Amino acid sequence: MLRFGKILIALCISFFVLSSTLYAEGKQHPAGQATAQLLDLIKQIGDKSSKTPDEISKLCHLALNYMDMKFISQKVLEKHRDKLSAKEQEQFQNLLSDLFIHVAFPNSGKFFSGLDIHFEKTFQDKTIATTPVLVVHKDEGEVDIEFKLQLTNEKWKVIDVDLDGISMRNNLRSQIYKILQTDDFAELSRRMTKKLDEAKNES
């Protein structure tokens, strides 16, 4: 049986909390700036000792604004999307967004504290930009990460994150497909809701 914790490990890859940051040319591009602002919010989320639960919740919702959740949800569902009603698609997007808020953001803030990150040059192709960053971990060494952003309504929003070539979105899609190949959307929704409830009870 799929455990949604494994899915959210992939999600957590996207959101690194930083103790020291070296900003290079990549941060000067608007997409790089959006990435840096997202990471700064995650850094604040990770510092729970100095914040109330309401303050943490507000920061998580602000961080979500840097994610294009509609686009991500559509790409994750992909071939299964047309099989779902508009209401089910909206429900999936809302559940996925809540999992970012209550699981992915807090876990990444806690787990990745103390890392260094180096922004590299942002590359743009029409409405898609890629901001490469190099994360340095004292035990794991260097890790290459690419934040992929899309310009939507004049705002750059994250649509995917690659960790050493592994796509967060594709990883999540493969896990979702495993469920929908054998079960219906109600079962997928049940598992996501269960994981969400567990996270809320732990917070």
What is the pLDDT at residue 32? Answer: 95
**Can you list the domains of the chain with their CATH numbers?**
4-198 (3.10.450.710)
Per-residue tens of pLDDT for the chain, all 203 residues: 334 444 444 445 443 333 333 334 556 899 999 999 998 888 889 888 888 999 999 999 999 999 999 999 999 999 999 999 999 999 999 999 999 999 999 988 876 666 777 889 999 999 999 999 888 877 778 888 899 999 999 999 999 999 888 999 999 999 999 999 999 999 999 999 999 999 998 87
Burial class for 74, CB neighbours closer than 10 Å (0-12, 13-18, 19+) = middle
User: Quick one: how far is CA 147 from the chain centroid?
Assistant: 10
Question: Is residue 29 helix, strand or coil?
Answer: coil
CA separation for the pair 34, 155 (Å, rounded): 9
Phi/psi for 73 (5° steps) reads: -60, -45
What is the pLDDT at residue 18? Answer: 34
Token pair 């934040």 is at which residue? 147
What is the pLDDT at residue 8? Answer: 44
Token pair 């996501």 is at which residue? 192
What is the pLDDT at residue 137? Answer: 72
Name, in order, each residue with C-beta under 8 angstroms of 92's C-beta and a sequence gap of 6 or more.
73, 77, 84, 185, 188, 189, 192
What is the pLDDT at residue 7? Answer: 42
What is the pLDDT at residue 164? Answer: 83
In terms of Cα–Cα distance, which of 47, 25, 51, 50 is closest to 36?
A: 25
Residue 67 gets which letter from DSSP? B
Rounded-to-5 percentages of helix, strand, coil across the chain: 60, 25, 20
Q: Positive or negative CA dihedral for 192, 146, 163, 118?
A: negative
In terms of Cα–Cα distance, which of 29, 71, 57 is closest to 157?
A: 71
